[in-house]
Structure 1
């Protein structure tokens, strides 16, 4: 069933199951602001917070790599079933897409990534990874828990939503391009805007940060095999040394950024792998190098790609070697630049500022890290932001992709509340004639 047909079916079901309000007066700015603050209060209530903690810890104990998130997906579907939230599965192998609201436009999407990393966890704690060589070292377990927390709050008010929230639980962000496959499956069909978040230890707890325009770099990877002629290290004149060729190639690749790129146009070329040789006195037949390259515009990225190929092939030839190069796009698709929609940035400042306080919403510089959330902006308006989790009393928090990475679980309510408030207020503000009934509930109201 295509997504258009799915939305039509969902809408038909909703007409039978969901109560609707008929009031047409729009909410005031003060009432809209109260919604954001209310979601923060509700997400911090022990009932919901403890539930999110349990979800996050279960996922953390059982990490799964990209496109292998079968148990994670099963847990998500189990929780959505308990909430009576309809969903579509499987999408992109393990992905899940849920729907909350009226089943009719406008549609706004929220995304959480699910995959772990091939890293052995070094942090000793009660819920340490039980899978050798794998851990959630980038916070995706927390992202899933946050989106499920938002889903729980949204589903409690589904009858008041004048539109539809699309919940995207996405596989394979860590190099597998899961977002690309989700887009190709049509999950953003009819969606007006999509929001995504990531936890960070660079910001204090209770803060969020983002920027309009280019935010994270385009990213690609390459691998090259340089072939020469092996021989005894004592008589190099009878060999063709691929190690010397690889050394020259690596140095020349660094010149692409230092000598050819505009200093104001951020680019990176890093060779992070070199393999060749098994003995101290034997020149090997071949050497393999691999690395990553990044840029902040499509033109710069494509030019860098072309020059990497040219340098590797021609420098190998200068040293009497030959080189074969692969950009490995079938294994790890190139990630485009993450570009935040300008209008959604103003919207984010307003909604997040109402929930966290305007003083706690920070600007930021672009990052050379990459994110496959970038594929979403190719088909709709997209916005990505960071949620702080640093707390001095919790000790030092390592950055992502470290075996010592830890989550300050106090961040969970903030992510869940920002997800929920961004979605609800988007529907309200893009359907203002139908928006008067979704008001903040009294602080004492239980979940």
Structure 2
């Protein structure tokens, strides 16, 4: 059995070790050795106690998924953790959203964003922490995004007295088709903010690697629905009818001609009709047909032109077949802009990520025609969106995003948390001298 003297020595040694670690980070936050900050943060987030804490949060959220603007319990979990960390926050924002604040309350301001909502998908993965809500699942990793931003909040709060400016934590509802980012902006999420960073897990990228790119990354997108009206009647006497099914079929083929014959092949665009409803009997020509779909482009001017041409093609082709047509673009979340990364932030991001992971683990992301409402933030302030790899061959085959077999490799959590924290701290240090000398209005919450 250890003597009291030995116990005291052990306690003092552990306490001294903690002080040394904190002192090391404080030195980085106050010196020119900023390249060491990412390495320090990744070491901290990979500690077993830190990692287990993030895993616990992520699994709790995974068991209780909530759809867009219904994330009341998700929001409560986040607020409980922020309370434990002593982080000031504003709630509610955009119904269920939260804005947390760490730092001085003075400029410069930088924001970190995590989306919170799940998808209307029935989980088919059998494991201990499977979704407890029928027909709902975190099939896109937003539970992991929240856990990583909370991880960043924890490490930033531990060193809050050394932060040169203010970090805004944006916990956003309704990313999956609801345009929650736009509503967060309307409720003041970007007040005073000079730049914003966001991330997404990537099931095709190995764990320990990250990717991003300058300029267009993800496509902008919109929804359309059209009702094509004709004159119904008996299938045996089609000459007494005006067939809307035939008209709709011609419309769908003509919509693809926009891409194949009007769009620049080097300017990626997509038009997809995923909805076709018309008729209920084999021998009856219906009065009307409803079609609907999405359109996507990597450039905003191309996206707007697609919208214009879709309406023109539908109405014109319907008229050729003696039908009338009305087109509605308000279905779903309306128009998402393309996700376009700021050139200067790309250079900055590459530097931070390389300092953390080494250049061989920092990849250039390909342009994708998926969409992200992070793009709304980028229309207001410079923003940067990137991917964090979580692929692990030893786990076997897992589903990709938006798939009932989707599985998050939780080894990704330390990387996302450390990158969030490193980007924020380094940005504030780099931009402190460049911020306006006149103090901006403080947030009331600080």
Judge same fold: TM > 0.5, yes or no. yes
Task: Identify which of 57, 61, 64 aligns with 1:62.
Answer: 64
| 8 A Cα contact 2:62 2:130, kept in partner | yes
Q: Does 1:283 align with 2:285?
A: yes
How many residue pairs are counted as aligned between the two chains?
411
Aligned residue for 1:374?
375
In structure 1, the gaps of 5 or more residues are 1-21, 435-447
Q: How does 1:224-239 map to 2 (within 5 A)?
A: 224-239=226-241
| 8 A Cα contact 1:390 1:397, kept in partner | no
| 8 A Cα contact 1:228 1:322, kept in partner | yes
Q: For residue 25 of structure 1, report the CA deviation from its aligned partner.
A: 10
Aligned residue for 1:45?
47
| 8 A Cα contact 2:209 2:389, kept in partner | yes
CA distance in 2, matches of 1:124, 1:268: 35
Task: Identify which of 170, 173, 183 aligns with 2:172.
Answer: 170
Q: How does 1:425-440 map to 2 (within 5 A)?
A: 425-431=426-432
| 8 A Cα contact 2:28 2:34, kept in partner | no
CA distance in 2, matches of 1:23, 1:244: 72
Task: Identify which of 104, 113, 125 aligns with 2:115.
Answer: 113
Aligned residue for 2:365?
364
Q: How does 1:274-313 map to 2 (within 5 A)?
A: 274-313=276-315
Cα RMSD (Å): 1.9
Aligned residue for 1:443?
none
> For each residue in 1:200-257, what CA deviation from the matched residue of structure 2 results, as whole angstroms up to 9, or x when unmatched?
0111000000000111111111011111222222222222211111100000000000
Aligned residue for 2:197?
195
| 8 A Cα contact 2:211 2:362, kept in partner | yes
CA distance in 2, matches of 1:216, 1:417: 24
CA distance in 1, matches of 2:264, 2:130: 45
Q: For residue 26 of structure 1, report the CA deviation from its aligned partner.
A: 5.7
For normalisation by structure 2, the TM-score amounts to 0.89
| 8 A Cα contact 2:29 2:37, kept in partner | no
Greater gyration radius: 2
Q: How does 1:152-163 map to 2 (within 5 A)?
A: 152-163=154-165
- What is the SS of the residue equivalent to 2:374? helix
Q: In structure 2, do the counterparts of structure 1 residues 283 and 433 end up closer, same or farther at CA, with 3 Å as the change threshold?
A: closer
- What is the SS of the residue equivalent to 2:131? coil
CA distance in 1, matches of 2:260, 2:197: 35
Q: Does 1:145 align with 2:147?
A: yes
Aligned residue for 2:31?
27
- What is the SS of the residue equivalent to 2:51? helix
CA distance in 1, matches of 2:139, 2:163: 35
- What is the SS of the residue equivalent to 1:215? strand
For normalisation by structure 1, the TM-score amounts to 0.89
CA distance in 2, matches of 1:248, 1:171: 39
Q: For residue 197 of structure 1, report the CA deviation from its aligned partner.
A: 0.1
CA distance in 1, matches of 2:335, 2:169: 25
Aligned residue for 2:342?
341
CA distance in 1, matches of 2:285, 2:119: 35
CA distance in 2, matches of 1:413, 1:170: 21
Aligned residue for 2:80?
78
CA distance in 2, matches of 1:404, 1:241: 42
Q: Does 1:414 align with 2:415?
A: yes
* Moved segments of 4+, more than 6 Å: 22-25
CA distance in 2, matches of 1:267, 1:222: 15
Q: For residue 27 of structure 1, report the CA deviation from its aligned partner.
A: 2.2
Q: In structure 2, do the counterparts of structure 1 residues 152 and 304 end up closer, same or farther at CA, with 3 Å as the change threshold?
A: same
CA distance in 1, matches of 2:296, 2:263: 12
| 8 A Cα contact 1:217 1:338, kept in partner | yes
| 8 A Cα contact 1:25 1:433, kept in partner | no
CA distance in 2, matches of 1:78, 1:343: 36
| 8 A Cα contact 1:73 1:96, kept in partner | yes
CA distance in 2, matches of 1:51, 1:276: 52
